Chains A and B, each alone.
Chain A
Amino acid sequence: MKSSAVHTGERCRELAIDVSDYLDGELSVTRAERLERHLAGCECCAGFAESLRRAIATCRAAGRTALPRTVQARARRRVRELLGTEARGRT
Protein backbone atom coordinates (compact mmCIF):
# COMPACT_ATOMS: atom_id res chain seq x y z
CA MET A 1 0.00 0.00 0.00
CA LYS A 2 1.37 3.38 -0.98
CA SER A 3 1.91 6.04 1.58
CA SER A 4 0.05 9.22 0.82
CA ALA A 5 3.08 11.13 2.02
CA VAL A 6 5.01 12.89 -0.74
CA HIS A 7 8.67 13.36 -0.15
CA THR A 8 11.07 14.93 -2.55
CA GLY A 9 14.07 14.96 -0.28
CA GLU A 10 17.58 13.62 -0.57
CA ARG A 11 16.44 10.02 -0.91
CA CYS A 12 14.23 10.86 -3.91
CA ARG A 13 17.00 12.87 -5.54
CA GLU A 14 19.50 10.09 -4.95
CA LEU A 15 17.22 7.48 -6.51
CA ALA A 16 15.96 9.60 -9.42
CA ILE A 17 19.22 9.05 -11.32
CA ASP A 18 18.50 5.31 -11.27
CA VAL A 19 15.10 5.61 -12.93
CA SER A 20 16.42 5.83 -16.50
CA ASP A 21 18.64 2.80 -16.05
CA TYR A 22 15.72 0.98 -14.43
CA LEU A 23 13.41 1.71 -17.36
CA ASP A 24 16.14 0.51 -19.73
CA GLY A 25 16.61 -2.69 -17.73
CA GLU A 26 20.22 -1.70 -17.08
CA LEU A 27 20.07 -1.32 -13.32
CA SER A 28 21.70 -3.93 -11.11
CA VAL A 29 19.32 -6.25 -9.24
CA THR A 30 20.25 -4.75 -5.89
CA ARG A 31 19.67 -1.18 -6.98
CA ALA A 32 16.50 -2.11 -8.89
CA GLU A 33 15.04 -3.70 -5.77
CA ARG A 34 15.97 -0.65 -3.71
CA LEU A 35 14.30 1.63 -6.26
CA GLU A 36 11.20 -0.55 -6.47
CA ARG A 37 10.79 -0.45 -2.70
CA HIS A 38 11.02 3.32 -2.84
CA LEU A 39 8.59 3.67 -5.74
CA ALA A 40 6.09 1.47 -3.96
CA GLY A 41 5.97 3.93 -1.08
CA CYS A 42 6.46 7.28 -2.80
CA GLU A 43 3.65 8.51 -5.04
CA CYS A 44 5.68 11.44 -6.23
CA CYS A 45 8.58 9.32 -7.49
CA ALA A 46 6.22 6.67 -8.88
CA GLY A 47 4.43 9.38 -10.87
CA PHE A 48 7.77 10.76 -11.97
CA ALA A 49 8.93 7.34 -13.18
CA GLU A 50 5.65 6.81 -15.02
CA SER A 51 5.86 10.17 -16.77
CA LEU A 52 9.47 9.44 -17.76
CA ARG A 53 8.36 6.09 -19.17
CA ARG A 54 5.66 7.84 -21.20
CA ALA A 55 8.13 10.40 -22.54
CA ILE A 56 10.34 7.53 -23.73
CA ALA A 57 7.27 5.83 -25.24
CA THR A 58 6.47 9.03 -27.14
CA CYS A 59 9.97 9.02 -28.63
CA ARG A 60 9.60 5.44 -29.71
CA ALA A 61 6.10 5.87 -31.09
CA ALA A 62 6.54 9.17 -32.89
CA GLY A 63 10.21 9.47 -33.70
CA ARG A 64 10.62 6.83 -36.34
CA THR A 65 8.01 7.82 -38.85
CA ALA A 66 8.52 6.78 -42.45
CA LEU A 67 10.11 9.17 -44.90
CA PRO A 68 7.72 11.64 -46.54
CA ARG A 69 6.57 10.15 -49.83
CA THR A 70 8.38 12.63 -52.09
CA VAL A 71 11.62 12.33 -50.08
CA GLN A 72 11.38 8.56 -50.23
CA ALA A 73 10.89 8.65 -54.01
CA ARG A 74 14.00 10.82 -54.45
CA ALA A 75 15.98 8.53 -52.12
CA ARG A 76 14.93 5.47 -54.09
CA ARG A 77 15.82 7.16 -57.38
CA ARG A 78 19.29 8.06 -56.07
CA VAL A 79 19.90 4.45 -55.02
CA ARG A 80 18.81 3.06 -58.39
CA GLU A 81 20.86 5.60 -60.29
CA LEU A 82 23.93 4.77 -58.22
CA LEU A 83 23.50 1.02 -58.58
CA GLY A 84 22.67 1.36 -62.29
CA THR A 85 25.73 3.51 -62.93
CA GLU A 86 27.97 1.10 -61.05
CA ALA A 87 26.50 -1.89 -62.88
CA ARG A 88 27.10 -0.21 -66.26
CA GLY A 89 30.65 0.62 -65.16
CA ARG A 90 31.40 -3.03 -64.46
CA THR A 91 30.23 -4.26 -67.87
Chain B
Amino acid sequence: MGPAAHSAVTKSDSAHPDRRGTAAEIAGADDYAALVRAAASGDEAAMETLLMRAQEVAFRFSSLVCGHAEDAEDVMQDALLRAYRHVDRIREPEAFRGWLYRTVRNACLMKRRRRVDEPRHMLSIDELLPTPEGVRTLQVPDPGHGPEASAINAALRQRLDRALSALPPLYRVVVFLRDVEGLSTREAAHVVGASEATVKQRLHRGRLFLRKALGEAR
Protein backbone atom coordinates (compact mmCIF):
# COMPACT_ATOMS: atom_id res chain seq x y z
CA MET B 1 0.00 0.00 0.00
CA GLY B 2 2.22 2.89 1.08
CA PRO B 3 1.70 5.79 -1.31
CA ALA B 4 -1.75 4.48 -2.15
CA ALA B 5 -3.02 5.14 1.35
CA HIS B 6 -4.22 8.67 0.76
CA SER B 7 -5.83 7.90 -2.57
CA ALA B 8 -7.44 4.78 -1.12
CA VAL B 9 -9.03 6.79 1.65
CA THR B 10 -10.19 9.38 -0.82
CA LYS B 11 -11.74 6.63 -2.91
CA SER B 12 -13.57 5.30 0.14
CA ASP B 13 -14.85 8.79 0.85
CA SER B 14 -16.27 9.06 -2.61
CA ALA B 15 -18.05 5.75 -2.11
CA HIS B 16 -19.57 6.90 1.16
CA PRO B 17 -23.32 6.36 1.16
CA ASP B 18 -23.81 9.86 2.55
CA ARG B 19 -22.58 11.31 -0.70
CA ARG B 20 -25.29 9.45 -2.52
CA GLY B 21 -28.02 10.60 -0.21
CA THR B 22 -28.78 7.14 1.20
CA ALA B 23 -27.81 8.05 4.74
CA ALA B 24 -27.50 11.05 6.99
CA GLU B 25 -26.00 13.99 5.20
CA ILE B 26 -22.42 14.88 6.01
CA ALA B 27 -22.34 18.42 7.25
CA GLY B 28 -19.10 20.27 7.76
CA ALA B 29 -18.58 23.18 10.12
CA ASP B 30 -19.13 25.56 7.19
CA ASP B 31 -22.45 23.92 6.32
CA TYR B 32 -23.61 24.38 9.89
CA ALA B 33 -22.41 27.99 9.92
CA ALA B 34 -24.39 28.79 6.77
CA LEU B 35 -27.51 27.20 8.27
CA VAL B 36 -27.05 29.09 11.54
CA ARG B 37 -26.74 32.42 9.73
CA ALA B 38 -29.82 31.70 7.62
CA ALA B 39 -31.83 30.46 10.61
CA ALA B 40 -30.84 33.48 12.71
CA SER B 41 -32.02 35.77 9.93
CA GLY B 42 -35.48 34.17 9.93
CA ASP B 43 -35.18 31.40 7.34
CA GLU B 44 -37.59 28.79 8.72
CA ALA B 45 -36.47 26.02 6.38
CA ALA B 46 -32.88 26.52 7.52
CA MET B 47 -33.99 26.46 11.15
CA GLU B 48 -35.92 23.24 10.58
CA THR B 49 -32.93 21.59 8.88
CA LEU B 50 -30.62 22.73 11.66
CA LEU B 51 -32.91 21.41 14.38
CA MET B 52 -33.30 18.07 12.61
CA ARG B 53 -29.52 17.78 12.37
CA ALA B 54 -29.15 18.56 16.05
CA GLN B 55 -31.50 15.70 16.83
CA GLU B 56 -29.75 13.35 14.41
CA VAL B 57 -26.42 14.05 16.10
CA ALA B 58 -28.04 13.43 19.48
CA PHE B 59 -29.52 10.13 18.30
CA ARG B 60 -26.26 8.84 16.87
CA PHE B 61 -24.28 9.96 19.91
CA SER B 62 -26.76 8.30 22.27
CA SER B 63 -26.89 5.03 20.43
CA LEU B 64 -23.28 4.69 19.27
CA VAL B 65 -21.29 6.35 22.05
CA CYS B 66 -23.47 5.98 25.11
CA GLY B 67 -24.90 2.69 23.92
CA HIS B 68 -28.31 3.40 25.39
CA ALA B 69 -30.82 3.90 22.63
CA GLU B 70 -33.58 4.27 25.24
CA ASP B 71 -32.02 7.60 26.28
CA ALA B 72 -31.92 8.88 22.72
CA GLU B 73 -35.31 10.59 22.63
CA ASP B 74 -34.59 12.57 25.80
CA VAL B 75 -31.17 13.62 24.52
CA MET B 76 -32.72 14.56 21.16
CA GLN B 77 -35.31 16.73 22.89
CA ASP B 78 -32.60 18.42 24.93
CA ALA B 79 -30.46 19.04 21.82
CA LEU B 80 -33.46 20.44 19.97
CA LEU B 81 -34.29 23.03 22.63
CA ARG B 82 -30.69 24.02 23.32
CA ALA B 83 -29.90 24.40 19.62
CA TYR B 84 -33.02 26.50 19.09
CA ARG B 85 -32.09 28.86 21.93
CA HIS B 86 -28.43 28.99 20.91
CA VAL B 87 -28.96 30.05 17.29
CA ASP B 88 -29.87 33.64 18.17
CA ARG B 89 -27.03 34.02 20.65
CA ILE B 90 -24.07 32.53 18.84
CA ARG B 91 -21.41 35.01 17.82
CA GLU B 92 -19.29 32.63 15.77
CA PRO B 93 -21.51 30.46 13.54
CA GLU B 94 -18.42 28.43 12.55
CA ALA B 95 -18.24 27.23 16.13
CA PHE B 96 -21.79 25.87 16.11
CA ARG B 97 -20.92 22.31 15.11
CA GLY B 98 -18.37 21.97 17.90
CA TRP B 99 -20.81 23.50 20.36
CA LEU B 100 -23.53 21.06 19.25
CA TYR B 101 -21.41 17.94 19.78
CA ARG B 102 -20.17 19.21 23.12
CA THR B 103 -23.73 19.97 24.22
CA VAL B 104 -24.95 16.55 23.14
CA ARG B 105 -22.04 14.87 24.87
CA ASN B 106 -22.82 16.74 28.08
CA ALA B 107 -26.50 15.83 27.83
CA CYS B 108 -25.56 12.16 27.46
CA LEU B 109 -23.25 12.42 30.44
CA MET B 110 -25.95 13.99 32.55
CA LYS B 111 -28.41 11.37 31.43
CA ARG B 112 -26.20 8.52 32.43
CA ARG B 113 -25.12 10.31 35.62
CA ARG B 114 -21.59 9.18 35.17
CA ARG B 115 -18.74 9.99 32.87
CA VAL B 116 -18.93 8.01 29.66
CA ASP B 117 -15.32 8.58 28.78
CA GLU B 118 -13.65 7.22 31.86
CA PRO B 119 -11.64 4.26 30.75
CA ARG B 120 -12.58 0.90 32.18
CA HIS B 121 -9.01 -0.07 31.52
CA MET B 122 -6.11 1.23 29.52
CA LEU B 123 -5.31 -0.77 26.42
CA SER B 124 -1.93 -2.30 26.03
CA ILE B 125 -0.55 -1.15 22.72
CA ASP B 126 1.19 -4.52 22.44
CA GLU B 127 -2.20 -6.22 22.18
CA LEU B 128 -3.11 -4.25 19.12
CA LEU B 129 -0.06 -3.96 16.94
CA PRO B 130 0.43 -6.14 13.88
CA THR B 131 1.81 -9.61 14.21
CA PRO B 132 3.06 -11.82 11.39
CA GLU B 133 0.08 -14.13 11.68
CA GLY B 134 -2.41 -11.53 12.74
CA VAL B 135 -2.96 -9.44 9.63
CA ARG B 136 -6.58 -9.62 8.58
CA THR B 137 -8.15 -7.98 5.62
CA LEU B 138 -11.59 -6.61 6.37
CA GLN B 139 -14.13 -6.66 3.59
CA VAL B 140 -16.09 -3.46 3.37
CA PRO B 141 -18.70 -3.97 0.67
CA ASP B 142 -19.94 -1.01 -1.28
CA PRO B 143 -23.41 -0.46 0.18
CA GLY B 144 -24.96 0.74 -3.10
CA HIS B 145 -28.75 1.03 -3.42
CA GLY B 146 -31.85 -1.13 -3.05
CA PRO B 147 -32.97 -3.85 -0.61
CA GLU B 148 -29.75 -5.84 -0.93
CA ALA B 149 -27.75 -2.70 -0.16
CA SER B 150 -29.97 -2.03 2.86
CA ALA B 151 -29.25 -5.51 4.17
CA ILE B 152 -25.51 -4.96 3.69
CA ASN B 153 -25.79 -1.60 5.43
CA ALA B 154 -27.67 -3.16 8.32
CA ALA B 155 -25.10 -5.95 8.65
CA LEU B 156 -22.23 -3.45 8.54
CA ARG B 157 -23.98 -1.29 11.08
CA GLN B 158 -24.44 -4.23 13.43
CA ARG B 159 -20.75 -5.08 13.19
CA LEU B 160 -19.85 -1.47 13.85
CA ASP B 161 -22.25 -1.25 16.82
CA ARG B 162 -20.70 -4.34 18.39
CA ALA B 163 -17.16 -3.14 17.72
CA LEU B 164 -17.82 0.37 19.08
CA SER B 165 -19.57 -0.94 22.17
CA ALA B 166 -16.53 -3.08 22.92
CA LEU B 167 -14.31 -0.01 22.78
CA PRO B 168 -13.41 1.71 26.07
CA PRO B 169 -15.50 4.92 26.24
CA LEU B 170 -12.43 7.15 26.27
CA TYR B 171 -11.56 5.92 22.79
CA ARG B 172 -15.11 5.34 21.57
CA VAL B 173 -16.10 8.99 21.73
CA VAL B 174 -13.03 10.10 19.79
CA VAL B 175 -13.49 7.43 17.10
CA PHE B 176 -17.14 8.47 16.82
CA LEU B 177 -16.34 12.16 16.47
CA ARG B 178 -13.49 11.73 14.01
CA ASP B 179 -14.34 8.66 11.95
CA VAL B 180 -18.13 8.53 12.04
CA GLU B 181 -19.01 12.23 12.26
CA GLY B 182 -16.01 13.64 10.41
CA LEU B 183 -15.04 16.31 12.95
CA SER B 184 -11.52 17.70 12.69
CA THR B 185 -8.94 16.88 15.33
CA ARG B 186 -9.33 20.41 16.66
CA GLU B 187 -13.12 20.17 16.91
CA ALA B 188 -12.94 16.76 18.58
CA ALA B 189 -10.42 18.14 21.08
CA HIS B 190 -12.85 20.94 21.91
CA VAL B 191 -15.74 18.52 22.36
CA VAL B 192 -13.92 16.18 24.73
CA GLY B 193 -11.92 18.92 26.46
CA ALA B 194 -8.52 17.47 25.66
CA SER B 195 -5.47 18.55 23.69
CA GLU B 196 -5.18 17.73 19.99
CA ALA B 197 -2.22 15.47 20.76
CA THR B 198 -4.32 13.54 23.25
CA VAL B 199 -7.14 13.19 20.74
CA LYS B 200 -4.72 11.86 18.13
CA GLN B 201 -3.35 9.32 20.55
CA ARG B 202 -6.82 8.18 21.63
CA LEU B 203 -7.93 8.00 18.02
CA HIS B 204 -5.02 5.81 17.04
CA ARG B 205 -5.54 3.47 19.98
CA GLY B 206 -9.27 3.40 19.35
CA ARG B 207 -8.73 2.52 15.71
CA LEU B 208 -6.36 -0.28 16.68
CA PHE B 209 -8.99 -1.68 18.98
CA LEU B 210 -11.75 -1.21 16.42
CA ARG B 211 -9.71 -2.95 13.75
CA LYS B 212 -9.23 -5.90 16.02
CA ALA B 213 -12.89 -6.01 17.06
CA LEU B 214 -14.10 -5.79 13.47
CA GLY B 215 -11.68 -8.48 12.43
CA GLU B 216 -12.83 -10.82 15.17
CA ALA B 217 -16.44 -10.15 14.28
CA ARG B 218 -16.00 -11.75 10.85
Stretch with Cβ within 8 A of A (4 or more), from B51-59, B95-103, B105-113, B114-122: B51-59
Q: Tell me the complex Cα distance, A52–B198, Å.
A: 19
Q: How many residues of A contact B (CB 8 A)?
A: 54
Enumerate chain A residues within 8 angstroms of B204, measured Cβ to Cβ: 17, 19-21
Which secondary structure characterizes the binding site on chain B? helix
B119-162 with Cβ < 8 A to chain A: 125, 129-132, 135-140, 143, 153, 156-157, 159-160
A64 touches B9 (CB 8 A): no
Which of B48, B51, B153 is in CB contact (< 8 Å) with A65? B153
Q: Tell me the complex Cα distance, A76–B142, Å.
A: 30
Chain B interface extent, by class: 35 or more
Instruction: Give 22 pairs: A residue, B residue, CB < 8 Å, sorted on A.
Output: A22-B5, A36-B2, A44-B131, A45-B130, A52-B207, A53-B12, A54-B211, A55-B138, A55-B211, A55-B214, A57-B12, A58-B214, A60-B179, A60-B180, A63-B160, A63-B176, A63-B179, A64-B181, A65-B24, A71-B59, A71-B72, A79-B48
The 3 closest A-B CB pairs, nearest first, are A63-B180, A47-B135, A48-B130
Residues of chain A at the chain B interface (Cβ within 8 Å)? 6, 8, 12-13, 16-17, 19-26, 35-37, 39-40, 43-67, 71, 74-76, 78-80, 82-83, 86
Known pairs A47-B135, A49-B1, A78-B55; list 8 more (Cβ under 8 Å).
A20-B200, A44-B132, A44-B135, A46-B1, A51-B138, A63-B176, A65-B23, A83-B47
